[in-house]
Amino acid sequence: MTAVIDPQATLETPLLADNVQLIGGEWVPAASGETLEVINPANREVLSRIPRGAAADVDAAVQAAERALPGWRDTNATARAGLLFRWAALVEENAEVLDQLESRDVGRPHWGPSPLAGMIRFIAGQTDKVQGLSLPTYSPDVLGFTLREPYGVVGAIIPWNAPGPMFTNEVAAAIAAGNTIVIKPAEDAPLAPLALAQLAMDAGIPAGVINVVTGLGAEAGAAIPNHPGIRRVGFTGSPATGSTVMEACARNLIPLHLELGGKSPQVIFPDADLATAAQAIATGITLNTGQICAAGSRVVVHRSIHQEVVERLATAMQQVTVGPWHQKVNMGPLINGKQHGRVMGYIEAGRDGGADLVLGGDTPSGEDFGEGYFVNPTLFDNVSPDMKIAQEEIFGPVLSVIPVDDEQEAIEVANGVDYGLVASVWTEDVGTAVRMSRALQAGQVGVNNALGAGVIGGPFGGYKSSGFGRTMGADAVLNWTQTKTVSLRGATRPVN
């Protein structure tokens, strides 16, 4: 929980600006002059106005990135790492401001110590560890080796649910490899990314290395993978939009990585610590109001403990306090009206589909909630694996309990969705943990933890419709490089 903060207080920081985006080291409006409002999801008040960037702005950003590329690419790796370490230090100094910006933007309460500086430092440490290989040759007068080189100008599109960490993941790794980047944050939550970009420039990262274009996905976002000057793309978002981005990348024959969400199972066996499991699962599904791709939204539980688990989950979820981010609460609002309508629609689908509504399913009332996009933690029981709420990503604090009879059925239900991002197993038996870790189709498997978290440098990414490619791991920087093979034969001269 966080201390009560005046939500109307002005943050005393140069990191806030109105109607500007970063192109070539300059804070500029959109070429069209149009703007978009950034709305506080807790009360629908206007937080800021940002440029409504579009293809012309992306083109200007790509040109700026192309101008900056030769100098940045040829800066030695140790020097690049030093600038990233300096960026991390400034991020750490401004951690409270960055956290408040994201809280206002997204509507979430304080999460705890900020991970952003540590994320940048982890990547900075990889920067001068990018190495090629010595290769065998057929002739002793030929030397063979590989070089790891940046792609050039790259692009990224990030969502609104965790804009600070998403920005850091994409930008730090891409520029550490020697690329320059054009990135579009979500129009609903651009403030923390813009502030992080300002701190990067304050750290000495040259103009044009990082360019931030704000605007709508269909305009500014679509222009990134469609631009012929972009050589690689990173995208995090919905499968539908990811498919569109992939089609654009295919037309330009450029690689990309996709992280497209999940429908993560929480598989509970009879020997599990049920008290710990229930509390962790309830916390996981209500953290950020369930707007986390890794959220464990399906509880696949052995029938012998089914009723006890439901009771424990209901108790834990009833204890989750809801309200504006600046109050002492556990859960804030959903990001916007569209998302609120989406979540309420899924709740209605759960009722209509025959699931038992145990808890929630409505919106809280009272003066603290006003016009905000709030919804109460919601628990459904006796959910069939083929129900809409069991198959589709809701991206809200909605938990479905699915009883099963044995381990094999648990595996079938857990894997029986299009997604494969995160899965969790709750058991005290090592053999069960090993079997399930291998059987579950997910990019991350947590044993006795709810979000697959807690590992420093664990590669993050999905199976199946959750996307492909990995971020955050020991290869984060390497993933933004391409390999060149060099075959070197010395000139033949007569020996005197």
Catalytic (active-site) positions: 259, 293
Residues 451, 162: contact at Cβ < 8 Å?
no
Residues 326, 7: contact at Cβ < 8 Å?
yes
Burial class of 302 by CB neighbour count within 10 A (0 to 12, 13 to 18, 19+): buried
Element containing residue 298 per DSSP (H, E): strand 298-302
435-464 burial, b if ≥16 CB within 10 A, otherwise e?
A: ebeebbbbbbbbbebbbbeeeeeebbbbbb
| 3-class DSSP state of 332 | coil
146, β-bridge pairs: 485
- Residue 383 Cα distances to 265, 295, 363, 387, 442, angstroms: 13, 18, 22, 7, 21
Give the start-end residues of each E strand in 104-209: 134-135, 142-150, 153-157, 180-184
What are the tokens at 278?
């229930």
Residue 156 and residue 179: Cα distance in Å, rounded? Answer: 12
Residues 328, 321: contact at Cβ < 8 Å?
yes
Report the chain's terminal Cα–Cα distance, integer Å: 81
Residue 252 and residue 441: Cα distance in Å, rounded? Answer: 31
178-187 burial, b if ≥16 CB within 10 A, otherwise e?
A: bbbbbbbbbb
> Strand 378-381 to strand 356-359: parallel, antiparallel, or no bridges (unpaired)?
antiparallel
Residue 126 and residue 475: Cα distance in Å, rounded? Answer: 8
Residue 454 and residue 188: Cα distance in Å, rounded? Answer: 29
Q: What are the contacts of 108-114 at 24+ separation with CB within 8 A?
A: 108/288, 108/289, 108/325, 108/332, 109/1, 109/2, 109/325, 109/327, 109/329, 109/330, 109/331, 109/332, 110/1, 110/2, 110/325, 111/287, 111/288, 114/164
Cα dihedral across residues 19, 22, 25, 31: positive or negative: negative
Maximum CA extent, the chain: 96
